[in-house]
Amino acid sequence: MESYLPLLRMDFRARCRTFLCVCTFLVVFMVPCPQGLPVNASKLLLKNDRDNVRNDKENDLPFPPDHIEGLKLERDGHLNQEFRKEVFLGNEHEDFENIPEKEGKERLKDIFQQVDTDGDKQIGLLELTDWISIKTEEHYKEAVEENEKTFFKFDPNQDGVISWAEYKIYFLKVKGYSQSLIEKVGDGESKLDLKDDDDYELYRDQDRWQQADENEDNSLTHEEFLAFKHPEHCRGMLRLLVEEILHDLDQDGDGILTVVEFVSLPIGHEKELERMAKEDEWVRERKKEFEQAIDVNQDGKVTVEELEVYMDPKSRHNAESEARHLMGVADINDDGRLSLKEVLINYDFFIGSKMFNYAKSVHDEF
Question: Are residues 15 and 96 located together in one domain of the fold?
Answer: no
Q: What is the pTM of this model?
A: 0.72
Q: Is 275 a domain residue?
A: no
66-70: average pLDDT:
87
Residue 156 has pLDDT above 60, yes or no: yes
| 97, 178: one domain | yes
| Each residue's pLDDT tens digit, 92-106 | 888 887 889 999 999
* 93 and 28 both lie in a single domain: no
Q: Is pLDDT at 235 greater than 50 in this prediction?
A: yes
Kindly write down the DSSP assignment for every residue of 235-275, as one continuous string.
HHHHHHHHHHHHHHH-TT-SS-EEHHHHTTPPTT-GGGHHH
Residue 274 covered by a domain: no
What value does the mean pLDDT take over residues 111-123? 96
What is the pLDDT at residue 220? 95
Is residue 27 over pLDDT 50? no
Residues 127 and 36 grouped into a single domain:
no
> Using one digit for the tens of pLDDT, what is the confidence trace for 159-182?
899 999 889 988 999 889 989 888
Are both 149 and 52 inside the same structural domain? yes
* Interatomic CA distance for residues 331 and 41, integer angstroms: 46
Q: Is the pLDDT of residue 40 over 80?
A: no
Q: According to the model, what pLDDT value does residue 307 have? A: 94
Look up residue 231 and give its amino acid: P
Residues 30 and 58 in one domain: no
- Residue 96: predicted pLDDT: 83
User: Are 19 and 131 found together in one domain?
Assistant: no
Is 30 among the domain residues? yes
Q: Report pLDDT for 189.
A: 66
Q: Are residues 214 and 248 in the same domain?
A: yes
H-helix or E-strand containing 287?
A: helix 281-289
Of residues 351 and 323, more confidence is placed in 323
Range of the domain at 91: 48-256+303-365
| 264 located within any domain | no
Domain count, the chain: 2
60 pLDDT tier (thresholds 50, 70, 90): low
Instruction: Name which of 33, 42, 39, 35 is nearest 11 in CA terms.
Output: 42
Residue 10 covered by a domain:
yes
